Amino acid sequence: MHRFEYANAASLQAAQEQLKADGSVIKAGGIDLLDLLKEHLIQPARLVQLKSIPELSNVHFDPQRGLSIGPMLTLAQTIQHPLIKQHTPSLVQAAQAIATPQIRNLATLGGNLCQRPRCWYFRSEDFHCFKKGGRRCFAQEGENINHAIYNNTLCAMVHPSGIAGPLVALGASVTLLKPPAPDRRLIKTKPLPHQTQTLPIEDFFTPPERSLLRETILGPQDILTHIHIPPRSSHSRDLYLKQKHKESADWPLAEIAVSAEIEQGRCKSLRVVLGSAAPTPWRSKAVEDAILGKPLDDKHIQQAAKAVRQDAKPLAQNAYKLDLFETLVARALHALNHPASQGRP
Amino acid sequence: MSQEIKSKLGFPGQWQETTLRIPDDEPPPWDPSYKFQTVNKAVPRVDAFAKVTGRATYTTDIRKPGLLYGRLLVSSHPSATIKSIDVSKAKALTGVKAVIALPIKEVRFVGQEIAAVAATSSQIADDALRLIKVEYDPRPFVVDVETARKEGAPLVFPKRAAQAPEGKSANVTPQRITKRGDIEAGFKRAEHILEGQFRTQVQTHSCLEPHAFTAEWEGDQLTVWASTQSTFSVRDELAQVFEISPSKVRVFSEYMGGGFGSKFGARASGKLAAMLAKEAKAPVCLIPSRKEEHLTHGNRPNSVQHFKMGVRNDGTITAMQLTSYGTGGIAGGAAATRPMLGLYRCPNKLAIDEDVFTHAGPARAFRAPGHPQGAFSLEQMVDMCAEKIGMDPLQIRLQNDPHTVRRAQMELGAKRIGWDRRNKTPGTQKGPIMRGLGMASSLWYNTGSAGAEILVKIHKDGRVEAFSGGQDIGTGIRTLIAQVVAEELGIPLQLLHVHIGDTQHPYAPGSGGSKTTPCVTPAARKAAFLAKQKLFDLARTLLKLEPKTPMIAQQSRIFSKADPKMSVDWAQLTRYLPNGILSVQATRAHNYAAYNNIIAGVQFAEVEVDTQTGLIRVLKIVAVHDCGLVLNKLTARSQVNGGVIQGISYALFEDRILDPRTGQMVNPNFEHYKIAGSREIPEIDAVLFDVYAGSNNTHALGLGEPTTVPTAAAIANAVYNATGARLFELPMTPDRVLKALAQRRSPQK
């Protein structure tokens, strides 16, 4: 078995020091990491454990700035957290629908955002695909029932994170701690400070055309430190729906996250994000444009739901996902106006 | 030598007096008037506590001093010539104690065993595997059944090239043809002829406990702990491989975690465990990985079935014709014709089937081989006929099924599911959620056979031991032996201690064909019966009764039938046992003329279909099954639950997916090879139907296999009743359901 060092980081600064050595990787919940290790997809020299840094699990609310969530919060803690429940139900709905109770007890929000794709070709060491430096995407002509229907021409993975969709819909941003810039000073007095970078979460994820070997902008020593969700108005609604094949632990076939401001039965503003649809959380502007400002009645909802078909290029086996997304859009939009339906048919 | 007895056989409403010829020393089958104390009750498993507390030792739990960990190297190519295997680096790795390269030249599927290593830890063994250099010369391959059939397809067995059937590849075996009556005349008599093309998938056994073996040598004596459904076949196979007497091989399987037909014999992993142990001179435990379990350790073949059925307006089915093929990888066994040959009175039948070889892991027997596949097509065809002539699916079955037990089961099941609630016109509910009801039948044949033995020892403290060398595949045979012996001796179950899973105990057959209970329990009853005769002699002496005074053993007392006050307690009597012990071994007799040799069974499904997402939810299954006399109502219900759960999983989820371009399985895990989980399990109403079958002294027949046969077909019929869309392909996944619904809306597409 591949041997590695296991380091408990005492602080963010210490973690960054520990990440400097070649082959060091962050360990959060360890769920995805263990799978990658067992299939020999990674051979890290050192795992840097972030659980020992308490501030990474903090949750704050500020009426002006909104909700700030530490990425080491587990999915189980997310589901239980009163502030998160109160301000962003869709995040709770998404966390609740992930995997099994055992996994939710260990898996973290940060780990869920940063996990590698679950594409079965990527996950098997027998397939040397684009994402592993190979020369092809096996899913294009292969078994692609679970794969992407949007932006799938290069790599047909679907983004694996259940909470990414709600965060994009909620307009969240993330803060990264980055190592100091290269020190080009002639006289080096104090060490240069670590840098932080805050960016919209949409820019955190990288589509295949930007990078095949990874799915986020995270550099080897970068640490995700905060997830911010802007404050919501009293007209705001958000929800998340997931369609799985099995109700028991299963990866989704289709997901939708919607966040909107509703006034007099119409969306004043709206974000619709489709999950398990594309290599990144897929914001469907076509659906948004089709329903924005229009009454949320059956006729307009049906029209808007059909808009999911724009820009879609299903592969040989996954055209059925269009039906699923059309249904999920219709159910989600209906639920915006009828929260009691909870997106049920 | 034998006696004739009159026996009342059948079930309430269908009793018949039958003359049975039974050996002189056999107890007659229990009479329906007999009042059971232990048998036919809901008795918790005697080993339940050990299992739920983790005290039960499975093969994967065996730990011996100096134990080494074995791992397998399997082929990563679907078809290749092996040019060389270099194990030198693996051998040189610290901690590696044995490396064995198998003398094979060709590999024919991904997952074929090539080499094995044993090391001081499983991690080192894993590292060593990666150091073995295999030079492959890859050859063309085919994993898709349709492509494999075509002329010019890469051949799985090139030596068969000359045997190619006309116009087909030599991957196709000669057709097996079974004819009954006159099929042409049957179709001529029909007023309607219906046709359907059905497809079923490959299902892997997915035993929760892998095919594990631990082997240890002491001189030329080999001891093996095996996760097996046939201890004696493991023993005999290993004796043959190592050219030693079976008396030198001892196989243990005290507890095992699922077999479903895939765990007969030692096979490659059992042999390799013993070879590694021999070379390393230390015990070796070899546990295949989950990926190897999926690739190498068995599967249910797929099927492509073309069905043609003729029916008259009065409901008479006049002709049934099934042409089918399927692939069991490098093995055969794909026939799906048995249900149509065995079910229904229709005199004119034609069954044609062929096996197709592909570069994939070998099929093995899998819980009712061929039956779930065959029932899926047959039982939907029967529903299609019923609809065509405007008849209720229950009515057409009652009319065409000659089996008295199944007909009674149908009536009972229909009541329990509320058959009246079914949609008279499918697919007319408002939606998007539609509900429907469906049904399907099953049959099974195995009624057990002679030969199994049981040793019973009665001790002076009143405790009783029973010994069987066989294994418990999960049906609870340990408990059933205890019940039958306790019943016969008239003592409480707590006095029994049953030993199983050790080839030094008396012979028992492998657990296949649902025959463990009908084979083993009659031997147990006979051994107890013969021991009881000796105890009666002892009691008569103690009570100073005439020899041959009729005696009864009941509620821990032995007493005179004529004068129950002439009585001695069990505990008191056993104290007088000469030498303090009474041992009796008995053998199971041949089958008698039974009430029924064909086991029936029928299931009813209620489903809910989300017509916008294609998701099927099974709400309820009513499963009415018979297994002769139900010896234990709890373990029998567990069998039904297990069969239904596996059937739902087969109907909706399980699917071995091979990548056609590489021959690799893309889902060799439990993440993408989907198995029904707790949320997928509906209410299961397991209805057990007692039949005094009379083929042996306990009336026991099999149950394990038929319980999984009709589930997928009943669900498919229920989906049709809900939506009006028929599913011709398994598993019934959302994409297929959506496609069927779309086709129903616009059939021209």
Distance of CA A314 to the CA centre of its chain: 22
User: Any chain B CB within 8 A of the CB of A127?
Assistant: yes
| Residue in A with minimal Cα distance to B609 | A345
Tell which of B666, B674, B738, B741 to mutate to test the A interface (max A CBs under 10 Å): B666
Cα–Cα distances in Å, from A4 out to A46, B351, B658?
Answer: 5, 60, 34
A122 touches chain B (CB under 8 A): no
* pLDDT number for residue B61: 94
Distance CA B62, CA B57 (A): 7
Domains of chain B: 1-35+404-447+592-749 (3.30.365.10), 59-139+206-296 (3.30.365.10), 178-204+299-402 (3.30.365.10), 448-587 (3.30.365.10)
Instruction: Say whether residue B666 is in contact with chain A using an 8 A CB cutoff.
Output: yes
* Inter-chain residue contact A138 with B610, CB threshold 8 Å: no
DSSP reduced 3-state for B525: helix
B76 vs A121, A126, A345: nearest CB: A126
Contacting residues of B for A145, CB less than 8 Å apart: 733, 735
Distance from CA of B344 to the nearest CA of A (A): 35
Q: Work out the minimum CA distance from B739 to partner chain A, whole angstroms.
A: 8
Closest residue to B677, CB basis, from A126, A248, A253 = A248
Contact list, A247 vs chain B (CB under 8 Å) = 677, 679-680
Query: Searching chain A, which residue's CA lies closest to the CA of residue B433?
Result: A345
- Between CA B524 and CA B506 the distance in angstroms is 11
**How many contacts (CB atoms, under 8 Å) link A and B?**
81
CB contact under 8 A, A246 and B666: no
pLDDT in tens, B642-651: 999 999 999 9
User: Which parts of chain B have pLDDT scores under 50?
Assistant: none
pLDDT of residue B596: 87
- Among B123, B614, B677, beta carbon nearest to A249: B677
Q: Closest-CA residue in chain B for A124?
A: B666
Query: How many residues make up chain A in this entry?
Result: 345
Residue A345 pLDDT grade (very low, low, confident, very high; cuts 50, 70, 90): confident
Tell me which of B139 and A189 has the higher pLDDT.
Answer: B139
Q: Which among A248, A320, A323 has CB closest to B680? A: A248
Region A87-115: what's the mean pLDDT?
97
Asked if A22 is an interface residue toward chain B (Cβ–Cβ < 8 A), one would say: no
With CA atoms as reference, the chain B residue closest to A345 would be B432
Closest partner CB to B734 (pick from A121, A245, A317): A245
CB-CB contact of B592 with B694 (8 Å): yes
pLDDT given for residue A181 in this prediction: 79
Q: What is the pLDDT of residues B476-514, one digit of tens each?
A: 999 999 999 999 999 999 999 999 999 999 999 999 999
Partner residue opposite A1 with nearest CB, options B126, B614, B660: B126
Determine the Cα–Cα distance for residues B186 and A324; give it in Å rounded to an integer. 45
Task: Give B58's Cβ-side CA count (13 Å radius).
Answer: 20
Which positions 96-115 of A are in contact with B (Cβ < 8 Å)? none
Q: Is A121 on the interface with B (CB under 8 A)?
A: yes
Give the DSSP letter of residue B354. E
Outline where B191-281 has alpha helix (H). 231-241, 267-280
Structural element, H or E, at residue A268:
strand A266-275
Task: Say yes or no for a CB contact (<8 Å) between A124 and B123.
Answer: no
| Angle of the B734-745 helix axis to the B711-723 helix axis, nearest 10 | 40
Dig out the tokens for B121 from the structure: 């830890």
In chain B, residues with a C-beta closer than 8 Å to the C-beta of A141 are 661
Is A341 touching B (CB cutoff 8 A)? Answer: no
Q: How far off is chain A from B143, nearest CA to CA, in Å?
A: 13
Residue B748's pLDDT is 62
Closest to B659 (Cβ–Cβ): which among A143, A318, A330? A143
Q: Which of B613, B672, B676 sits opposite A324 (nearest CB)?
A: B613
Residue-by-residue DSSP string for B257-300:
---TT---S-HHHHHHHHHHHHHHTS-EEE---HHHHHHHS-EE
**Which residues of B are less than 8 Å from A245 in CB distance?**
615, 653, 674, 733-734
Per the CB < 8 Å rule, is B613 touching A243?
A: yes
- Closest CA–CA distance from residue B72 to any residue of chain A (Å): 15
Q: Which of residues 63-82 of B touch A (CB under 8 A)?
A: 76
Nearest-Cα distance to chain A for B667, in Å, is 7
* Partner-chain residue, chosen from A243, A250, A317, that has the shortest CB–CB distance to B674: A250
Mean per-residue pLDDT for A17-23? 92
Q: What share of chain A is helix, strand, coil (3-state, %, to 5)?
A: 30, 25, 45
Residues of A in contact with B615 (CB under 8 A): 243, 245
Q: Over chain A, what is the mean pLDDT?
A: 95
- In order, the DSSP letters of B550-590 are -EEEETTEEEESS-TTSEEEHHHHHHT-GGGEEEEEEEPPP
Q: Which of the four pLDDT bands, split at 50, 70 and 90, describes residue A179?
A: confident
Q: Tell me, what DSSP letter sits at residue B53? A: T
DSSP assignment of A25-40: EEESS-HHHHHHHHTT
B94 vs A contacts (CB less than 8 Å): none
As for the ipTM of the complex, it is 0.96
**Sheet strands (E) in B626-727:** 683-688
Question: Measuring CA to CA, how many Å separate B424 from each of A53, B391, B392, B420, B522?
Answer: 64, 10, 9, 9, 48
**Res A340: pLDDT:** 82
Alpha-carbon span B553 to B491, nearest angstrom: 8
Q: Which of A34, A157, A246 to mutate to test the interface with B (most CBs of B within 10 A)?
A: A246
